[in-house]
């Protein structure tokens, strides 16, 4: 298996979550069109989507791309087109992180019933549902396969092994951080 195989498999799950986010966005927009006063935003779904985007799409998936694949490609004499594409992909990762942070802020503002928060929330949901499909298509169709040519079979095998190890450690890291965060909050006087 090529090291891009697991990344492309992860893309399929990310696409499914983005489709669910798009459904929620469409539902909210339909409600706003009928009666803006009753545009129900499901904060639990938003929190779930944010957790998925931060943990699975960004930390797990983009983590393997940036920390393993892109880091190794940086050491290679890439064709200008591939180097440009890799920089675009990294910038799109940053845009996704920023839109996710902004979505959280807009959701919190919406829960406090602050003016303009619903529009900001819809904007950030829309940004994410437009960004991810284009980004995934660019990686799958233009970048991943050509970039495999820069690696020997041994390097590909090493990349794949490192990606598996990254995944194995990640769940432990996530939940260690959750426990440490709770411990820190409980140690702080209220």
46-63: per-residue pLDDT in tens?
A: 999 999 999 999 999 999
From CA 116, how far away is CA 161, in angstroms rounded? 47
Neighbours of 129 (CB within 10 A): 19
Of 69, 128, 126, the residue nearest 95 (C-alpha):
128
The rounded distance, in Å, linking the Cα atoms of 76 and 110 is 47
**pLDDT digits 0-9 by tens, 8-33:** 999 999 999 999 999 999 999 988 77
Domain count, the chain: 1
Domain residue limits at 181: 4-187
Please report which confidence band the pLDDT of residue 40 belongs to, taking 50, 70 and 90 as the band edges.
confident
pTM for the model stands at: 0.90
Taking the C-alpha atoms of residue 16 and residue 174, their distance in angstroms, rounded to an integer, is: 22
Domain CATH for 39: 1.20.120.520
């Amino acid at each position: 298996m090529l090291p891009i195989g697991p990344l492309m498999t992860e893309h399929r799950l990310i696409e499914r979550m983005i489709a669910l986010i798009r459904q929620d966005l469409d539902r909210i927009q339909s409600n706003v069109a009928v009666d803006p006063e009753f545009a129900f935003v499901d904060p639990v779904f938003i929190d779930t989507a944010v957790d998925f985007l931060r943990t699975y799409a960004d930390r797990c998936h983009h983590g393997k791309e940036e920390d393993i694949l892109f880091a190794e490609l940086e050491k290679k004499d890439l064709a200008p087109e591939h180097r440009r594409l890799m920089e675009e992909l990294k910038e799109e990762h940053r845009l996704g992180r920023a839109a996710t942070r902004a979505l959280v802020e807009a959701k919190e503002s919406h829960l406090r019933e602050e003016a303009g928060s619903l529009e900001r929330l819809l904007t950030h949901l829309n940004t994410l549902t437009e960004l991810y499909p284009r980004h995934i298509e660019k990686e799958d169709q233009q970048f991943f396969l050509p970039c495999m040519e820069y690696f020997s079979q041994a390097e590909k095998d090493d990349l794949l092994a490192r990606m598996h190890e990254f995944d194995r450690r990640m769940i432990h890291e996530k939940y260690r951080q959750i426990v440490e965060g709770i411990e820190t909050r409980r140690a702080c006087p209220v």
